[in-house]
Structure formats: C-alpha cells, structure tokens
Amino acid sequence: MPADQTFPFRYGVFRWLLSVLGLGPAFSRVALTADTLSVHMGWGFRAEIPLTSITDARADDAMVGGIGVHGFRGRWLVNGAASGLVAIDVDPPTRAWVGGFPVRLRNLRVSVQDPDALLAALER
C-alpha cells in the first residue's frame, strides 16, 4: 500500500457554520494508513477503524437526514454535504467517539470530496 493517504471531507452550503462550530475542514479529515481508516470531524466524531474490520465499502447516494454528526445504534452519518457519500460496514463493530462519548460503530456514512478515490484505496 502506498504512503498514508488523506481524503478531505466534502462540504456544502453549511461549510461556514460547521467551521464556526469546530467541525469544518481545518479540524476534519479521513485518513488511510497501512492498517487503519481514521475519521475525524472536529470535536464531534472520531474513529480509528482497523482495515481488517471493514467488510464492505460502497458509494452511497441514499438521502441524508442532516449535515454534521448523526447516528444511533451503531449507524453513523458524518458529513459536511449531502453528496459524495461512502458507506462503510464494520464487523466486528469498533468504538468511536461522538462529542467525547464512546459509541459503537457498525456502519459509517461519510462525505468526501473524491469518493471514488477513497473506495479505490480501500479496495487495495
């Protein structure tokens, strides 16, 4: 696998608001190392997902219920836009942090500027 790769979040019309709230591009990233997918959206969301736990990753064009960090019962949406989504299934579930509180992560939907590049990198 090549050196660490970073995939910027995709932001839409609410970029300014998310930036003011500490969830904007300066504080957020999706990064891939040789063994981990790291997702951080400011103080709102943090997860370190072992690549061995990712069972599926696919483009996701399903409707979103909001912008920011949302979820329940292991299914989390972490996005700055309603497009450019990638859905990632995790088994066994891993721990993530939402607003400083631990949560279980089974499925993550994340918006990135180049979803095809993230998907290609996860396939390797």
**44-75 per-position pLDDT tens digit:** 999 999 999 999 999 999 988 889 999 999 99
**15-28 per-position pLDDT tens digit:** 999 999 999 999 99
State in Å, rounded, how far the first CA of the chain is from the last one. Answer: 7
Distance CA 44, CA 97 (A): 8
- Of the pLDDT bands very low, low, confident and very high (cuts 50, 70, 90), residue 1 is very low
Is residue 7 within 8 A of residue 31, CB to CB? The reply is yes
pTM over 0.95: no
The DSSP H or E segment spanning 123 is helix 115-123
Is residue 123 within 8 A of residue 21, CB to CB? The reply is no
Give the domain ranges of the chain.
5-123
The residue type found at 85 is L
**32-48 per-position pLDDT tens digit:** 999 999 999 999 999 99
Q: Is 96 exposed, middle or buried (0-12, 13-18, 19+ CB in 10 A)?
A: buried
